[in-house]
Amino acid sequence: MKKIRKLGILTGGGDCPGLNAVIRAVVHTAQREFDLEVCGILDGYAGLIHNHVRKLELTDVSGILPRGGTILGTSNRDNPFRYADDWRGVRKVYHDVSAQAMKTIESNGIDVLLSVGGDGTQSIAQQFHEKYHLPVIGIPKTIDNDLNGTDVTFGFDTALTIATTAIDKLHSTAESHHRIMVIEVMGRYAGWIALESGLAGGGDVILIPEIPFVIDSVCEKINDRARKGKRFSLVVVAEGARAEGGQLVVARQVQDACDPIRLGGIAAQVGNQIEDMTGIESRYTILGHVQRGGSPTPFDRILATRFGYHAVTAAVNREFGCLVGLRGSEIKTTPIKEAVAEPRRVNPESDLVKTALAVGTCLGK
């Protein structure tokens, strides 16, 4: 059995607060607890393709705990199993360059790969594990909170805090101008950010992907508030929400990305419909990438640090092909294959949904 001497770590997919906390925890744990070396792979899987790797020392991770983003860089476009490295006319040509990526692993003496990312990043790690028997450990990261194998992903709490703060600020302008404010938040096809920020921020209407909405029901809620003297309303809508029988609102489609569909624009659609149907002035705000930025919350710093420690421990214990995750109050492992099999979405019958309904929130039905 080959002795583990060196770990490689990469951050893939969209950035989010807490990535640097993971990197810091991995380097400290590897060196202090197990006397292991750590290599940082730059810009996600692009670093494996192009052999952009650097050694990480304790000095490299000093002071990065409160910083947003990732000191290693990231990418959500460079899949070694489907990589576009040239053009023929106007059509990209894709190649499997995973063998080239494996040469980077071998030439740098990396024994175990730690992949920090969401479903796309972990799916690629699983492919390396299956095709090349590469020892991999997954660390769940996404503001969307839509990855199985963990009760919560790091990055979500910070995004939730940012969204809630924005809703609080929009409350005063909605009330002052007697208008409807429609706030669009991220989350892709899961409604966690919308539901929890809407609940925390006192949203009158919350629209999530898991519960297709009826615009008439939304307008009836707003009109009912107006009849009772409430001359404003807050509508929180997830970017992946859609009307019953309707389609997703897509901003654009992009080749080469793990998720080629870029959602966006549902807030404008909903806001315009509300104004047309109620006669009440409506404005919309898209929070966008501000939800990914800034310093991580204490919760995310601690969770990311715990994930980093347990990922190194799992590597030393040879629990390859697994994802570390929070289950209750403990960190446990789940096979990556199971974690990425389907997204973790809001259950319409969950306690959280029932709570929202009980306090008078309209969910579009």
Residue 11: closest CA among 122, 169, 126, 102: 122
| pLDDT, tens digit, 9 for 90 and up, residues 103-125 | 999 999 999 999 999 999 999 99
Residue range(s) defining the domain that contains residue 60 = 6-154+294-339
Do 177 and 110 fall within a single domain? no
Domain count, the chain: 2
Does the annotation count 144 as an active-site position?
yes
Residues 163, 164, 168, 174, Cα dihedral to 10°: 50
What 3-state DSSP class applies to 116? Answer: strand
**364 occurs within a structural domain:** no
Do 180 and 281 fall within a single domain? yes
DSSP class per residue in 335-353: EHHHHTSS-----TTSHHH
**112 occurs within a structural domain:** yes
Do 67 and 39 fall within a single domain? yes
Do 326 and 352 fall within a single domain? no
Q: Model pTM? A: 0.94
Specify the range with the lowest mean pLDDT, choosing from 90-94, 184-188, 311-315, 324-328: 90-94
Do 139 and 193 fall within a single domain? no
CATH number of the domain that residue 115 is part of: 3.40.50.450
Indicate the residue type of 350: S
Do 115 and 219 fall within a single domain? no
252's CB contacts (< 8 A; 6+ apart) are 262
Q: What's the burial of 50, exposed, middle or buried (CB within 10 Å: 0-12/13-18/19+)?
A: middle
Among 144, 146, 157, 300, the one annotated catalytic: 144
| pLDDT, tens digit, 9 for 90 and up, residues 284-342 | 999 999 999 999 999 999 999 999 999 999 999 999 999 999 999 999 999 999 999 99
CATH number of the domain that residue 243 is part of: 3.40.50.460
| pLDDT, tens digit, 9 for 90 and up, residues 241-292 | 999 998 888 878 766 555 678 888 899 999 999 999 999 999 999 999 999 9
**1 occurs within a structural domain:** no
